[in-house]
Amino acid sequence: FFLMASTPRINTDNGGATISGKAITTLIFDVDDTLYDVGSGFTAHRNGGAVQQFMVDRYGFPSLEAAKQVRDEYFAKYHATGKALLVAQEDGRFPPDAPKYVVSDLSDYWAEKLDYGILTTVSNDLRQSFECLPNTVTLVAFSNGPRKYVKRVLETLGLFDLFGEDRLFAVDDVLPHCKPEKEAFEKVLAAIGNPSPESCVMFEDSMK
């Protein structure tokens, strides 16, 4: 299993795909800050006031500051807001009268309330690079974000059709695990036919 924080050269000669001479069958892409530029400000928008307001509106946190403290503490441990809030409530860090947290609530909120106008469609060069890959290569999107939200991002970027529902995986699909836990990757690989880990490449924005 290769983890790439930058774009390697993929050789597609002879009808297959190789990286540094190794045969590749599966390319797995993180979404946020990988398929779009972190400089867009969209991640700061999502992980800032938007998630804090969700916690106040839905779960009765007394202030944006209180919500931020809990979310940031648990996000630092799990790198996924979807799992961070689940564990935070289990640990008794939600207001005592808060309804039970479910990741679909966060997914719906982000899909409906975020400003997707901050995002711009990806360059034609990136899409053409995907389209030029041989049909022996499987494209997969795997995000720690919740599913409905991740789909909305890919649709905004004009890339959803390259992955589709069957090759889009979100934190909903792997809970109680999430990236970078081994069990999360095992669930994804099992769902796409158990390709050899040695033939897979993961593209990420960080080496967490």
Per-residue model confidence as pLDDT tens digits over 162-193? 999 999 999 999 999 999 999 999 999 999 99
SS (H, E, C) 106-129: HHHHHHHHCCHHHCCCCCHHHHHH
Q: Are strands 18-19 and 22-23 parallel, antiparallel or unpaired?
A: antiparallel
State what percent of residues in the chain have pLDDT above 90: 75
Q: What is the pLDDT of residue 2?
A: 47
State percent of the chain over pLDDT 70: 90
What pLDDT is recorded for position 136?
87
Alpha carbon dihedral 172, 173, 179, 184, in 10-degree steps, equals 150
- pLDDT (0 to 100) of residue 44: 93
Q: Could you tell me which residue, 85 or 16, shows the higher pLDDT? A: 85
- pLDDT, averaged across the chain: 90
Confidence of residue 18 (pLDDT cuts 50, 70, 90): confident
pTM of the model: 0.88
Q: Name the residue with higher pLDDT: 37 or 163.
A: 163
Determine the Cα–Cα distance for residues 171 and 178; give it in Å rounded to an integer.
Answer: 6
pLDDT tens column, 47-106: 989 999 999 999 999 999 999 999 999 999 999 999 999 999 999 999 999 999 999 999
Q: How far is residue 130 from each of residues 86, 134, 138, 145, measured CA to CA in Å? A: 35, 9, 10, 22
Instruction: Report DSSP letters for 35-76, one per residue.
Output: TS-GGGSHHHHIIIIIHHHHHHHHH--S-HHHHHHHHHHHHH
- What pLDDT, on the 0 to 100 scale, is given for residue 5? 47
- Is a pLDDT exceeding 80 seen at residue 203? yes
Q: How far is CA 141 from the centre of its chain?
A: 7
**How long, in residues, is the chain?**
208
Residue 140 has pLDDT above 90, yes or no: yes
Instruction: For residue 57, give the amino acid letter.
Output: D
